[in-house]
Amino acid sequence: MLSVPAGACDCHCHVIGPTQRFAQAAFSGDIPEAWLDRHAAALKTMGLSRAVIVQPSSVYGFDDAAFLDALRARPEAYRGVAIADATVSDAQLEAWRALGVRALRFVEIKTATGGRLPGSVGFDDLARLAPRLRAFGMHAHIWADCETIVGQETRLLSLGIDIVLDHMGKPNVERGVDDPAFQRLCALLSEGRLWVKLALCRNSRVLPDYPDLRPFHDALVKANPDRLLWGSDWPHLRMGDMTPDVGQLIGLLLDWIGDEDLARRILATNPTRLFGFAQV
């Protein structure tokens, strides 16, 4: 197996708790704590030295206290993706930027009844925020299914900021890699018009090796490895018995890539460039 390169980064993870300091939102349910010490242990298991912490809006909503506390713990090694709607002030964006926030997250995944996920912010707010994100040197992370992304590509790509797709762009696995929506996503990736996170675990229930996702992973790597990131999604909120092992996840990536240069680009070079980490 390949070795994890120096400066490797988990580009999608969360930190939660401790609850005696940071109260969870009423809609969150009982989410187990995932403190910084547990997060550090997970990074060590994966052999990673850097992380992009995503504010868990389904746990805290717009309350950024726990999220910012995590960023302050290791400013040289952590960057952040925050949650905000179009009412956020320039002063707040500037303060976040100073603490390591480099992006905001926007979600178009719906509940079972078609409603918005609690604590999430959608594309309408992204459109209004884009000029200010550009001014502050920030970009957007998007969690939406592949068809929604492709259906909104003109709108998204006209915003003038980097667009990062969470969870592999959420392809329809049952339709296979020849699905027109996924093929269009690969074309956009190939053209360098967006970024994609190789994060497996919310796209499949075939643990631990996710064989159904291998063709999608390989297609994305072939399309443009210089626009790919990798994320564990630790601590895998609300995944129950579908919770993966982080050591297994990083092992799969290295096994599937099978090339030291590609591993270095996806795990270290690309996140260093996008999130402004120091060169290793």
Distance (Å, whole) CA 170 – CA 205: 14
Instruction: Report the relative pairing of strands 163-165 and 50-54 from DSSP bridges.
Output: unpaired
CATH superfamily to which 9-269 belongs: Metal-dependent hydrolases (3.20.20.140)
Domain boundaries, the chain: 9-269
In the chain, DSSP assigns E strands to 9-13, 50-54, 78-82, 101-107, 139-143, 163-165, 195-198, 228-230
* Cα 279–chain centre separation: 21
pLDDT tens-digit map of 261-273: 999 999 999 999 9
Rounded to an integer, the average pLDDT of 92-107 is: 98
pLDDT of residue 112: 78
What pLDDT sits at residue 280?
82
Report the pLDDT value the prediction gives residue 56, as an integer from 0 to 100.
93
Q: What is the pLDDT of residue 118?
A: 80
Share of the chain above pLDDT 90, in %: 85
Mean pLDDT across the chain: 95
Single out the residue of 86, 79, 38 nearest to residue 62, CA to CA.
Answer: 86
* 6-47 tens-digit pLDDT: 999 999 999 998 888 988 886 777 677 788 999 999 999 999
Q: Is the pLDDT of residue 203 over 80?
A: yes
Report the pLDDT averaged over residues 228-241.
Answer: 94
DSSP states of 31-93: PPPB-HHHHHHHHHHHT--EEEEEP-HHHHTT--HHHHHHHHH-TTTEEEEE---TT--HHHH
What local confidence, expressed as pLDDT, does residue 114 receive? 81
Is the per-residue pLDDT at 241 higher than 80?
A: yes
Closest CA to 227 of 161, 271, 183, 177: 271
Residue 138: band (very low, low, confident or very high) from pLDDT cuts 50, 70, 90? very high
The answer to whether residues 86 and 44 touch, using CB atoms and an 8 Å cutoff, is no
| pLDDT at site 230 | 99
Quote the pLDDT of residue 30: 64
Residue 111 has what pLDDT? 79
The pLDDT, as a whole number, for residue 26 is: 67
Q: Express each pLDDT in 53-84 by its tens digit.
A: 999 998 999 999 999 999 999 999 999 999 99
Its pTM stands at 0.96
Mean pLDDT value of segment 169-191 = 98
User: Do 136 and 166 form a contact (C-beta atoms < 8 A)?
Assistant: no
pLDDT digits 0-9 by tens, 209-219: 999 999 999 99
